[in-house]
Structure 1
Amino acid sequence: MTDLATRPAPADQDPDEQRVRAAAEALLESHPPATTDPATFLGAQFDAGLAWVHFDEGHGGLGVRPKLQKVVQEVLRGSGAPNPVGRNPIGHGMGAPTVHAHGSEAQRSRYLRPLFTGEEVWCQMFSEPGAGSDVASLATRAVRDGDEWVVNGQKVWTTVAHLSRWGMLVARTDPSQPKHKGLTYFVVDMEAPGVEVRPLYQITGEAEFNEVYFTDVRIPDAERLGEVGEGWRVSITTLMNERVSIGGGIPAPGTGMVELAVRAWRDAGRPGGAARDQLVRLWTRAEVLRLTNWRASQTRAAGVPGPEGSIGKSAGAELNQAITEYAVTVLGAEGMLLPSGYPMERPRMAMDVSSAQKAFLRCRANTIEGGTTEIMKNILAERVLGLPGDVRVDKDRPWTDVPR
């Protein structure tokens, strides 16, 4: 029998939860969303420690358990409060955790608040034309020159680079080391001389992705995250948070991507039979994923998320594709036409899925971006199930000796 003295206190007696809830309610009272500019509201949310509650006090957090962020979401939901993720998805989900974990006090103070308010958008520059799933094989070089680093190279598939003020950059600083050991991580000014952003137009007709060229770009050593040669370790923080950010969402029941399928079913006249049965199956899968992510959030510790984030990313990507395939199918001939046409433009936001047809096209990328589904399965096999890893013949060889 469990000793009553060792039982955890009920949630309503948790002092940390009470503190977070009180702060969120005070935020709404002092800054009513209906009459407060979004950037001002988000700045006040950051100052109250409600941006990322598990971050340190003074840097957008209260130093409490990560799962208490859901209390903030519960209080703000339905109030009309702005969504910080939509304004800066890469910065919010990947940049902020990396800066908080590896940045200096000066970097935290400089970057986190305008990142959260969306006043400064961030992008992530890891992948290269010859380094996709094997990011550690990247070739972009950074050479030390006094208190600066001179960077030359190319990155690709860089989401919202055309809107970004800052970028997360991993570059090779010691080619004589094995590929994972000769990397260093930087924050780069996207407006610096020598940074060129070129659009990559997608099947939606938009250029949400970009390729970025660096020609003798100078980065102060003060903008390095982590130690020289420790770039892979810092990158893992970004990558693990990326998978949680992409696949770890916890929407209200029946909302999120599955809501799009329900809307399409209604627009099609609420067909019965197989169409209705398939919709119910998709709704059930979405609810299972939502509850799985919720459970994972309850056990998540502060710092670098575990490999379990790959579950949500992999399952969510495949589910999104199944949902959007259903939506355009149930719409019939209308599902073949993109309502907005193919504008061939550079969007002002990432991952716009304003219609079922657009979502269907955009979700083709879900099983590739943020790590392919095959990579996610490898991570789960090796780090969760303990299965033998893939054979890696170049792991301990100097990068300069690896054929390319």
Structure 2
Amino acid sequence: MDLHYTEEEQAFRTKVREWLAENLPHALSEKIRLGKRLTKADYELWHRLLNERGWLAQNWPREYGGAEWNAVQRQIFEEESCLANAPHIVPFGPTMLGPVLLAFGSEEQKRHYLPRILNGEDWWCQGYSEPGAGSDLAAIKTTAMRDGDHYVVNGQKTWTTLGQHADWIFCLVRTDPGAKKQEGISFLLIDMKTPGITVRPITLIDGDAEVNEVFFDDVRVPVANRVGEENKGWTYAKYLLTHERTNITGVGFSTATLKALKSTAAQVQSGGRPLSQNPLFAARMAQVEIDLMAMTTTNLRVVSAASKGRAPGAESSMLKVKGSRIRQELTSLMRRAFGPDAMPFQNDYLEGGDNLDALGPENAASAAPTYFNMRKLSIFGGTNEVQRTIITKTMLGL
């Protein structure tokens, strides 16, 4: 897949590629290549290395420690990082909360929180979804009642990704229960060490517990931790969601997965010839590559507009739907390419041991868990059905 880049952009790609070759720890890239799960220390290491290079907060202004990259630079970095088997940047601080604080936070909040995001002092998680308020996010029931210079927060959040590691959580809370759904919501920053907060893990279909439930029981939060105006949080929430949904597009992940899929399909034999020569399989690979090329171009346009201060609107919904479908198709094809080898055989377990090493190609064992994990993308960041409704109403006027 080739989009035509300028000489300057190609030079930037070379710089990124060379830096990754020199600075990406081999042990870390091997974990990614083999589909192994990363620890908190792994993410923190990569966070620190990128921040030292000045490449962590890619869409922040330089005056706040950001890289101030344009859309093409950010896409090139994502592609090269994925091709080099680098970890993804945990997005909650640099990619999601950071832009909200830059756009709506007070100067004091910017001075305090932004440097702590960069240097890794604060690990953030997102408190949006609730039981009964996922796709219909405006139906949240977690309350924050004013008590002097504090809010008292009660309620529950769910599907809180990596919340078990977090120091802070940015939350949508209802500060005016009598208002209409989209009104009466505020945006709070809450210290996870505050008394009354309980975190419980949720085990996913791939066996990992990367998401959590978070409970708030009479949690006292300073009013100074509110971002923007009281009862105006829905505006800030929508702004953040456009960045989240664009991030879900996963151009870099899909580009790297497509490359790996082509290599695997060329090596795996099917009916006495490479799987890549199977007409049906080859047609599916060709279609997903075409879809990826089209989405990559669209993603560049949307991210470029966002970098000029225009928050992406329904376009982010379109990218979210298309990006999740492409990632799901690629992981499905990878699982099919490996066939029985994609199953996580536990041969030693059958003999009474605990060794869970897989048989077959060394990277086949991650194919099924990755496929299962990618099923979440259809509902992650707002269900695809809801995104289609947004597209229908705002872009088609229906």
Q: Please classify the TM superposition score into its range, dividing by the shorter chain length.
A: 0.7 to 0.9
Q: Give 1:333's aligned residue.
A: 340
For 1:71-220, list aligned pairs within 5 A.
Answer: 73=77, 86-220=88-222
Contact 1:167/1:190 (<8 A) preserved:
yes
8 Å Cα contact 2:139-2:181 kept in structure 1 = yes
Q: Please give the alpha-carbon distance, in whole angstroms, between the structure 1 residues aligned to 2:322 and 2:261.
A: 17
CA distance in 2, matches of 1:124, 1:262: 36
Select which of 42, 50, 57 maps to 1:42.
50
What CA distance in whole angstroms lies between the structure 1 residues aligned with 2:97 and 2:348? 33
| CA deviation string 1:194-248 (max 9, x = no partner) | 111101111011111111100111111111111011011111111111101111x
Q: How far off is 1:38 after superposition?
A: 4.7
Pick closer, same or farther for the CA change 1:240–1:201 going to 2, 3 Å: same
1:33 aligns with one of 23, 30, 42:
23
Q: Tell me, what secondary structure is at the counterpart of 2:179?
A: coil
Secondary structure, counterpart of 1:123 in structure 2: strand
Gaps of 5+ in 2: 1-5, 26-44, 355-363
- The match for 1:58 is 63
Tell me if structure 2 keeps the 8 A contact 1:42–1:117: no
Q: Contact 2:141–2:173 (CA<8 Å) still a contact in 1?
A: yes
Contact 1:267/1:331, CA 8 A, preserved across alignment: no
Shift of 1:154: 0.6
Whether 1:374 aligns to 2:398 is: no
Match of residue 367 from structure 2? 356
The answer to whether residue 71 in structure 2 is matched with residue 67 in structure 1 is yes
1:292 aligns with 2:298: yes
Contact 2:82 / 2:256 at 8 angstroms: preserved in 1?
no
Instruction: Say whether the 8 Å CA contact 2:305–2:312 is kept in structure 1.
Output: no
Q: Per-residue displacement from partner, 1:1-23 (whole Å, max 9, x unpaired)?
A: xxxxxxxxxx889xxx9xx97xx
Q: Kindly indicate whether the alpha-carbon contact (under 8 Å) linking 2:59 and 2:95 is maintained by their aligned counterparts in 1.
A: no
**Would the alpha carbon gap of residues 203 and 72 (structure 1) be closer, same or farther in structure 2, given more than 3 Å must change?**
closer
Matched, 1:321 2:328: yes
Specify the alignment match of 1:4 in structure 2. Answer: none
Kindly state the Cα deviation for residue 130 of structure 1 after the two structures are TM-superposed: 1.6
CA gap 1:164/1:178 in 2 versus in 1, 3 angstroms: same
With normalisation by structure 1, the TM-score equals: 0.76
Q: Aligned ranges for residues 301-320 of structure 1 at < 5 Å?
A: 301-302=308-309, 304-320=311-327
Aligned partner of residue 204 in structure 2, secondary structure: coil
1:240-259 Cα offsets, whole Å, 9 max, x none, are 11101111x4439x733323
The amino acid across from 1:60 in the alignment is G
Tell me: CA distance 1:188–1:340, structure 2 relative to 1, closer, same or farther (3 Å): farther
Over the matched positions of the two proteins, sequence identity in percent amounts to 32
CA distance in 1, matches of 2:347, 2:148: 51
Q: Is the 8 A contact 1:142 1:151 kept in 2?
A: yes
How far is 1:34 from its partner?
Answer: 6.5
Please give the per-residue CA displacement for 1:90-146, whole angstroms capped at 9, x wherever unaligned: 323322211221212222222223324545321111111121211111111101111
Identify unmatched segments of 5+ residues in structure 1. 1-10, 344-352, 388-404
Measured in 1, the distance between the counterparts of 2:222 and 2:137 equals 24
Q: Do the aligned partners of residues 280 and 338 (structure 1) sit closer, same or farther apart at CA in structure 2, a change above 3 Å counting?
A: farther
User: SS of 1:152's equivalent?
Assistant: strand
2:265 match: 265
Report the AA paired with residue 334 of structure 1.
Answer: D
SS at match of 2:314: coil
Report the secondary structure of 1:287's partner residue: helix
Query: C-alpha separation between the residues in 2 aligned to 1:246 and 1:188?
Result: 25
Whether contact under 8 Å (1:65, 1:302) holds in the other structure is no
**Counterpart of 2:30?**
none
Q: How far apart, in 2, do the equivalents of 1:139 and 1:92 lie? A: 27
C-alpha distance 97-339 of structure 1, shift in aligned 2 (>3 A): farther
Query: Alignment RMSD, CA only?
Result: 3.8
Residue of structure 1 equivalent to 2:395? 384
Secondary structure of the structure 2 residue equivalent to 1:196: strand
Query: Could you tell which deviates more after superposition, 269-278 or 198-207?
Result: 269-278
79 and 326 in structure 1: CA distance in 2 versus 1, 3 angstrom threshold: closer
Would the aligned equivalents of 2:342 and 2:366 in 1 still touch at CA under 8 Å? no
The alignment covers a number of residue pairs equal to 353
Q: Which has the higher helix share?
A: 2
Contact 1:173 1:183 in 2 (8 A): yes
